[in-house]
Amino acid sequence: MRSHTPKVLHRIAGLSMLGHVLDGVSGAGADKVVVVVGPDRPDVSNEAIRLRPDAEIIVQTERLGTAHACLTARDQLGEGFDDVLVVFADTPLVQASTYQALRAKISEGASVAALGFDAADPAGYGRLLLEGDTLKAIREHKDASDAERRVTLCNAGLMAFDGKQALAILQSVSNQNAQKEFYLTDCIALAAERGLKVTYALADQQEVMGVNDRLQLSQAEQLMQHRLRTRAMLAGATMIDPASVTLSHDTVLGRDVLIEPHCVFDVGVKLSDGVTIKAFSHLEGAKIGTDSVVGPYARLRPGSDLASHVRIGNFVELKNAKLAEGVKVNHLTYLGDTTVGSQSNIGAGTITCNYDGFAKHRTTIGAHAFIGSNSALIAPVTIGEGAYVATGSVITEDVPADALALARGRQVNKTGGAAGLRQRLSRKK
């Protein structure tokens, strides 16, 4: 990846590749998860625990192959589970249903089941070699005969074992090869030689793609985005130009949501029914109530919580702001660490000045208040219900309910002053 970040912590749709795999196996019903990591990788271990607190972490101190990686968890393998899935954190697009299909092969009596795919171009992939419906071996491309190379059924790498036989099969793998490594793929032939039932499950080639560089990461992102958009539209959301919309893995879109082009949904966004997100808006950690409208060119940062029928217009930024029903913030405004009561109107150019260089402070605006354009509210400050803040005011003290607050310099007009000013300036020039 040419990165300081471990490969499996690179993100797709806002979630690490490791996270996608943990989600998938959890969705497939995994009772226990063991994550095998390399040495000196506490960042990978921490991510696994953050996402799946009950995960057990095993460190593979020597890199001696995929079967060896599995055997670092020999104590857990010896617990005798119904089935064991061996999966890879750099194969992030595999869905829970595919993991379940592998598990089903074990419940149907197989001792080992490999995951395969039918490749349009099988060059470079290991081949699944069959006799009837029985999987006899996995042959690497470089070792395959001409006839075997014509096989298009290829190895995806993932595998399932009968939990009561997994440890014995893995322990029988040897390292008698040029690389002196213990290969997971050898389990197929070893199990077949023992007369055990060995089979395979099929997946789509795109679903089992591995990610090893930035190009493949971008391709996986595109595939994930297509999956997320499709799911959202089939559930009742409208996207005018789906390819221009970026979703997060956890984006929640209600029915009759309308999303205009070039919108980005970062982690933690939830839209209720009937919400409209206009073009070029960016949302993160935001909750938006029924029939609200956001944008165009709006930015909602974490902690933005909008009730129903709220209107957020162009070039408005919210951060940690709670807006009650019917609030209007139509243009060119920043509300940070702010609470706004129902039916209030925030004029263009309003700023809540929430940071003093050392700490954040909150602004509270009551219901039915009116904040005139180009006002600065210096937090901490409270604007009472029904209060009116005059345009251009700098508010440093609380405003009582139904009060009119004016906090601006008095205007002075000097007759003929402009002409005199031009004369003075022209002489200097």
Domain boundary among 202, 232, 267: 202
Three-class SS of residue 401? Answer: coil
Q: Indicate whether 198 and 330 sit together in one domain.
A: no
The CATH number linked to 139 is 3.90.550.10
The count of domains in the chain is 2
Q: Indicate whether 119 and 51 sit together in one domain.
A: yes
Q: Indicate whether 192 and 226 sit together in one domain.
A: no
Examine residue 208 and state whether it is found in any structural domain, yes or no: no
The distance from CA 22 to its chain's CA centroid, rounded to whole angstroms, is: 13
pLDDT value, residue 33: 98
Q: What angle do CA 359, 362, 397 make, to 5 degrees?
A: 100
Closest CA to 352 of 375, 323, 332, 331: 375
Three-class SS of residue 77? Answer: helix
- What is the DSSP secondary structure assignment for residue 137, as one 8-state letter? E
Q: Indicate whether 165 and 143 sit together in one domain.
A: yes
Output helix, strand, coil percentages for the chain, rounded to the nearest 5: 25, 30, 45
Between the two ends of the chain, the Cα-to-Cα distance in Å is 60
pLDDT value, residue 350: 98
Q: How many CA atoms lie within 13 A of 70 on its CB side?
A: 29
The CATH number linked to 335 is 2.160.10.10
- E runs forming strands in 272-310: 276-277, 282-283, 286-288, 293-294, 299-300, 304-306
Q: Indicate whether 131 and 244 sit together in one domain.
A: no
Q: Indicate whether 51 and 151 sit together in one domain.
A: yes
Distance CA 165, CA 77 (A): 9
Examine residue 401 and state whether it is found in any structural domain, yes or no: yes
Instruction: Supply the range of the domain harboring residue 345.
Output: 216-405
Q: Indicate whether 227 and 159 sit together in one domain.
A: no
The 8 Å CB, 24+ separation contacts for 280-285 are none
Q: What percent of the chain has pLDDT over 90?
A: 96
Q: Indicate whether 11 and 81 sit together in one domain.
A: yes
Q: Indicate whether 20 and 90 sit together in one domain.
A: yes
Distance CA 65, CA 36 (A): 12
Q: Indicate whether 53 and 107 sit together in one domain.
A: yes
Examine residue 225 and state whether it is found in any structural domain, yes or no: yes
Q: Indicate whether 224 and 86 sit together in one domain.
A: no
Q: Indicate whether 95 and 177 sit together in one domain.
A: yes
In the chain, which stretches have pLDDT less than 70?
none
Examine residue 425 and state whether it is found in any structural domain, yes or no: no
Distance CA 161, CA 115 (A): 12
pLDDT value, residue 179: 86
pLDDT value, residue 177: 85
Report in angstroms the alpha-carbon separations of 10 from 91, 220, 327: 12, 11, 39
Q: Which two tokens stand for residue 359?
A: 């700490």
* Pair 260, 240: CB distance under 8 Å: yes
pLDDT value, residue 132: 86
Examine residue 11 and state whether it is found in any structural domain, yes or no: yes
DSSP letters for 321-338: EEE-TT-EEEEEEEEEEE
Examine residue 174 and state whether it is found in any structural domain, yes or no: yes
Domain boundary among 136, 171, 202: 202
pLDDT value, residue 57: 98
* Pair 106, 82: CB distance under 8 Å: yes
pLDDT value, residue 1: 94
For 265, residues 6+ apart whose C-beta sits below 8 A from its C-beta are: 245, 246, 247, 248, 251, 283, 284
Domain boundary among 148, 176, 202: 202
DSSP letters for 168-234: HHHHT----STT----TTHHHHHHHHTT--EEEEE--TTTT----SHHHHHHHHHHHHHHHHHHHHH
Closest CA to 164 of 208, 207, 196, 201: 196
pLDDT value, residue 178: 83
Residue 215's CB is within 10 A of a number of other CB atoms, namely 9
Examine residue 244 and state whether it is found in any structural domain, yes or no: yes
Give the residue numbers annotated as catalytic, written as ranges. Answer: 331
Q: Which two tokens stand for residue 261?
A: 């082009």
